[in-house]
Amino acid sequence: MIYTLQNINSKEYDGSLVFLYGDESAERNLPLSKREIDVVKTKRNEKKNFVVSFDRLPEKLYFVSFNSESVASEVQEELRRQAVEVLKMMEKDGVKTVALNGEGTLPEEMAAFVEGLTLADYSFDRFRSDDRFHIEKLIINSVFFSEEELAAQQRLWNRIFWCREWVNLPVADLNAARFAEELQSVAENFKDVKCTVMDRRKVESLRMGGLLAVNKGSVDEPRFVVLEYNGIARNKDKATERPICLVGKGIMYDTGGLNIKPDDYMQEMKSDMAGAATMASVLFAAADNALPVHVVALLPLTDNRPGFNAYAADDILTMYDGTTVEVVNTDAEGRLILADAIAYAVKNYNPRVIIDAATLTGAAVRAISTFGIAAMQQNASSDLEMLKIVGNEVYERLVEFPMWKEYDELIKSDFADLRNCGTTPQAGTITAGKFLAHFAKEVPYVHLDIAGVAYFSKAQHYFRPGASGYGVRLLYAYLQMQS
């Protein structure tokens, strides 16, 4: 999609146009006939949020009515969702180039609509032989954005696009080694990004017992990728500032291991590396837009298979930090590889805060469905509060789960320091978070379980079926608050 800015007079524009209307005080500038104004007034008396199209043969006018008096974050989310309706109308009409303008519309409202249109226009097409409909060009009234502002948004949306592509790719096309190569290739485009790729031999030398155990059943070697972006290195006052460490679960495909998943749970398990794709995309977005922050992304990568000498229930693992873990279920593998990465961050980077993202538990989906992220924190209440605030603003919302000390009892083992699963099926999301918090030690730690939102089997608002990139906008907004 090509984005351009130009001065647009809606009443004189001779191409197809999307017009946003949120405030009756702007009625004098509507590009409508008297009859069309009457139609809009009648509809707005019934409800303020709707989309209607008017013929401007051979062109179209898509009129987007919204309620500008609602809470700002809800107004913007409604506009993102209304963009989906407009996209469907454009596809039906065969309109691939459209201009955007509005009255009674704030720049952030126009930005939300453009974002919704952009996110909704993405689909995973590389294996399809037919051509899907996509918008070719958006012409936006230059009163809403500067060139710099629009370019920055485009770079962020591009990172969301690539996050989705990585998650959508099947493991046959993107295993741990290939993903590591892709990350290294992207990193080479930035002078402020360092990429370190550790192969099996290096992982063995580090004694990462969790990552090595999960990989034992696979023919593909594991990788441990560390990306570091330092956007404050040139600032002498902040050059030694402790980094924000982002840890992402990178299970390239999850069969469940020897505790193999039933067939109806095996579908979509290529998405079990969404946490790693999310964290890499956030770091690259920060580098793209030169955010003045110091960020390290730590990405343990492997698939989880039942072959060869696969690790088994009752195995006892020694993790990177020396903690011993009794394996209760090989399908609770994500927390094992994350634990090694978190412990590595603690020892090697002295982080200001560690934030992980992982498609970790079905319990999170059962608790809050597909409407947000299950979140927990240890010694990081201010960071989680900030994430909640920006999550509400970008509408990638968080629900905080407790981390009470009583939950520690559920992951105690008779034979090792910890069990990798709780002693009961209850509180599965929390016990997973508790397990990981052990490895963060005293470092402020936030756990984000994105199991319900990383991948949608059916279209949900401006997310088509497949990977969503959910969490990239959240964490990018959080990093903007740090600068």
Cα 363 to its chain centre, rounded Å, is 19
Q: Strand, coil or helix: what is 283? A: helix
Torsion over CA: 361, 366, 367, 369 (sign): positive
Q: Strand, coil or helix: what is 141? A: strand
Residues known to be catalytic: 261, 335
CB 115, CB 157: distance < 8 Å: yes
Q: What is the DSSP letter of 271?
A: G
Cα 187 to its chain centre, rounded Å, is 19
Q: Strand, coil or helix: what is 25? A: helix
CB 99, CB 15: distance < 8 Å: yes
How far is 263 from 257, CA to CA, in rounded Å? 13
Task: Tell me which H or E stretch contains 369.
Answer: none
Helix 472-482 with 274-288: angle, nearest 10 deg = 40
Task: Tell me which H or E stretch contains 436.
Answer: helix 428-440
The CATH code for residues 170-482 is: 3.40.630.10
The tokens describing 402, both together, are 């407790």
Q: What is the DSSP letter of 273?
A: G
How far is 377 from 238, CA to CA, in rounded Å? 26
Per-residue pLDDT tens over the stretch 366-388? 999 999 999 999 999 999 999 99
User: In sequence order, what DSSP letters do the residues of 375-433 get, joined into one string?
Assistant: EEEES-HHHHHHHHHHHHHHT--EEEPP--GGGGGGG--SSSSEESS-SSSTTHHHHHH
Q: Where are the beta strands (DSSP E) in 231-280?
A: 244-248, 250-254
Per-residue pLDDT tens over the stretch 316-370? 999 999 999 999 999 999 999 999 999 999 999 999 999 999 999 999 999 999 9
pLDDT of res. 251: 98
The tokens describing 419, both together, are 């069990």
Task: Tell me which H or E stretch contains 224.
Answer: strand 223-230
How far is 207 from 322, CA to CA, in rounded Å? 9
The tokens describing 94, both together, are 């065969």
How far is 276 from 248, CA to CA, in rounded Å? 4
pLDDT of res. 263: 80
Cα 466 to its chain centre, rounded Å, is 13
pLDDT of res. 388: 98
Place of tokens 């608790």: 367
pLDDT of res. 29: 77
Counting every residue, how long is the chain? 483
Place of tokens 């469940």: 256
Cβ neighbours, 10 Å, residue 207: 13
How far is 373 from 315, CA to CA, in rounded Å? 31
Q: Do domains 2-145 and 170-482 have the same CATH topology?
A: no
Q: Please say whether the structural domain 2-145 has been given the CATH code 1.10.3080.10.
A: no
How far is 276 from 284, CA to CA, in rounded Å? 12
Q: What is the DSSP letter of 130?
A: S
Q: What are residue 294's DSSP bridge partners?
A: 230
User: At CB < 8 A and 24+ separation, what contacts does 172-178 make?
Assistant: 174/252, 175/220, 175/252, 175/303, 176/220, 176/221, 176/222, 176/223, 176/250, 176/252, 176/301, 176/302, 176/303, 177/220, 177/221, 177/223
pLDDT of res. 32: 92
- Point out the residues of the chain with pLDDT beneath 70: 25-27, 234-240
Cβ neighbours, 10 Å, residue 66: 26
Q: Where are the domains of the chain?
A: 2-145, 170-482
